[in-house]
Amino acid sequence: MSSAESPVTRFAPSPTGFLHIGGARTALFNWAYARGHKGKMLLRIEDTDRERSNPAAVDAILDGLKWLGLEWDGEAISQYSRMQRHAEVAHELLKAGKAYHCYCSPEELAAMREKAEAEKRPIRYDGTWRDRDPSTAPAGVKPVIRFKSPQEGETVIHDNAQGRVVIPNKDLDDLIILRSDGNPTYNLSVVVDDHDMGVTHIIRGVDHLTNAARQTQIYLAMGWQVPNMTHVPLIHGPDGAKLSKRHGALGVEAYRAMGYLPAALRNYLARLGWSHGDDEIFSTQQLVEWFSLEGINKSPARFDFVKLENLNGHYIRHMPDAELLADFLAFLPHVEGGPELLAKIDDTMKAKLLAAMPGLKERAKTLVELKASAAYLFAQRPLAIDDKAKALLNDEGKAALKALHPLLAAAPEWAAHPLEAIVKAHAEATGIKLGKFAQPLRAALTGTSTSPGIFDVLAVLGREEALGRIGDQMAT
């Protein structure tokens, strides 16, 4: 790519399920490279497998990309809608003598497979119709079109991550590019679409490396420029095994429901298979500025939920309160009980949540934990008290509440620091440890034994609500 050109990347998922975490990382790398070089990232839905493709999966992929903040350029393109163009190229190759009709029956192909297995050879098409006179074709048989793969020499892939990859041409048989029903196959469709869309850089999983050799041969046969290629290492679990659902091979929507922030997930995914020195935590803008194809590692990356959770906690703690509130509200529709909670959040409750956010975010590693910590704000009087909190509201605890209630009621200013001063002064005057007052206060105000700082809780609840909750427990 010359300095005058802007790169064009593409993300090309198959709509057979949700946007899984490996696909999300591929999209992120394509997006970061395009944005960092003032180029474009295109989106192509590879929906030619009509039996497995479904509209719900397309919607889930688009929704997952938008939630991650990975906007593409232009309209999403359906590969299926371009099948006629793919077939045209197959016939161009046929006309140029670089492809041929193959009339082999299913039985003949099965016999080839069995013979190869018996001789312990790789299963490959044996070229029966490669140089055969089409006039000898059996009557009434619809042929496939096979690409005439070079039989000698080698196909070389110059890969940014994998280095120089050499595949002997004898290891690649004559690929079917058009089925007998007229439908094109994957490797042909991908080449035609990438060429027609002007894709300059292909960034995808290393599992496509063999496809890259076949696709390179088709590019060369058509006289087209082969795009710059980068095959990214796979993601493994922390134990080094192939990523499974127990490791985190879930759809992006699952990470949203688990309470991860898009910015944190972008940061974490960027570090899976790519590095910039020793930097672990960086902004999305820094990622765009720093990202390079040369920085992509060759070996598999390891997915670690503990690291992701810790990183997410860092983002929660350092995010401005108003931004965190916006992400929290956007998260609620996607978590159990969230829609009902969202319905209760009016402008008054938003103000309370914003005021409570400094205390809430100090302990939370996910938005799920933040939601649990914020539950006291939504609780209705009289509060449901859990077992640990009940133990704190024994006779001693209730006596502490009765002593504090009038002192708090007389507070000239209802804010965390003045309220803390009142309680501390009373503890010192009575010679009783501060915890003996703070713990029953927490139980009465939240119904639990854990919460954000108790004086912050007092302040956020407000004078009337806080005193009412304390009074409720004094009366029981």
Return phi, psi of residue 17, to 5°.
Answer: -175, -165
Q: Is the dihedral of CA 71, 51, 182, 91 positive or negative?
A: positive
CA 443 to chain centre: 39
Catalytic residue among 38, 245, 388, 390: 245
**Residue in this structure with the two tokens 């599992």, named with its chain if needed:** 207
Q: Is 298 in the active site?
A: no
Q: Is the dihedral of CA 319, 320, 323, 329 positive or negative?
A: positive
Distance CA 357, CA 462 (A): 15
Distance CA 192, CA 221 (A): 12
Distance CA 161, CA 437 (A): 61
**Residue in this structure with the two tokens 């708090």, named with its chain if needed:** 408
Query: What helix, strand, coil percent values describe the chain, rounded to 5?
Result: 50, 10, 35
Distance CA 127, CA 130 (A): 5
Q: Which helix (H) or strand (E) holds 302?
A: strand 301-302
152-174 burial code (b ≥16 CB/10 A, e <16)? eeebebebbbbeebebeeeebbb
Q: Which residues pair with 228 in a beta bridge?
A: 201
Among 222, 143, 214, 213, residue whose Cα is nearest residue 178? 143
| Spatial contact of 272 and 303, defined as CB atoms under 8 Å apart | yes
| Spatial contact of 173 and 144, defined as CB atoms under 8 Å apart | no
Q: Which residues are catalytic?
A: 245
